[in-house]
């Protein structure tokens, strides 16, 4: 996928996005037996389950918004995107410019849902 417009056209992919998924929960769900947000996740763990979610990677400059598809031990980046400059600055200031992989929430999630007509 080369752009958010490409993703926007893929209704199956858009409908598969778990907007509440965090990187930590994805790892717990697919790779570990860590705590999750609800019992239904414990009941659904197996290698056939798939999770699609967005993350923000700040290990490199600029921070990159990534759509991830995870199934069991496999992980695939479905696309990498730039945030609008204002949101990027606001996000980086909000996390103290620390490097890491972050969940998409707040104003960035609102912007993303608007861009994707969700």
* Nearest alpha carbon to residue 19 among 117, 116, 115, 113: 113
Torsion of CA 71, 112, 110, 22, to 10 degrees: 20
Report pLDDT digits (tens) over 78-95.
999 999 999 999 999 999
How many angstroms separate the CA atoms of 105 and 112, rounded? 10
Report pLDDT digits (tens) over 9-59.
999 999 999 999 998 888 877 776 555 555 555 545 555 678 999 999 999
* Nearest alpha carbon to residue 30 among 13, 55, 49: 49
Which pTM does this prediction carry?
A: 0.84
| In contact, 13 and 52? CB cutoff 8 Å | yes
E-assigned strand segments in 1-114: 50-57, 64-71, 74-82, 101-103
Structure confidence at residue 71 (pLDDT): 83
Which residues have a Cβ under 8 Å from the Cβ of 18 and sit 6 or more positions away?
A: 51, 52, 53
């Amino acid at each position: 996928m080369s752009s958010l417009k490409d993703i926007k056209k893929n209704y199956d992919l858009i409908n598969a996005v778990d907007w509440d998924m965090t990187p930590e929960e994805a790892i717990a769900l697919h790779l570990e037996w860590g705590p999750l947000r609800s019992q239904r996740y414990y009941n659904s763990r197996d290698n056939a389950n798939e999770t699609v979610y967005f993350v923000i990677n700040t290990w490199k400059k600029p921070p990159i918004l990534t759509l991830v598809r995870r199934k069991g031990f496999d992980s695939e980046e479905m696309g990498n995107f730039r945030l609008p400059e204002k949101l990027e600055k606001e996000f980086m200031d909000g996390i103290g410019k620390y490097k890491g992989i972050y969940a998409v929430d707040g104003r960035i999630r609102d912007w993303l849902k608007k861009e994707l007509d969700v």
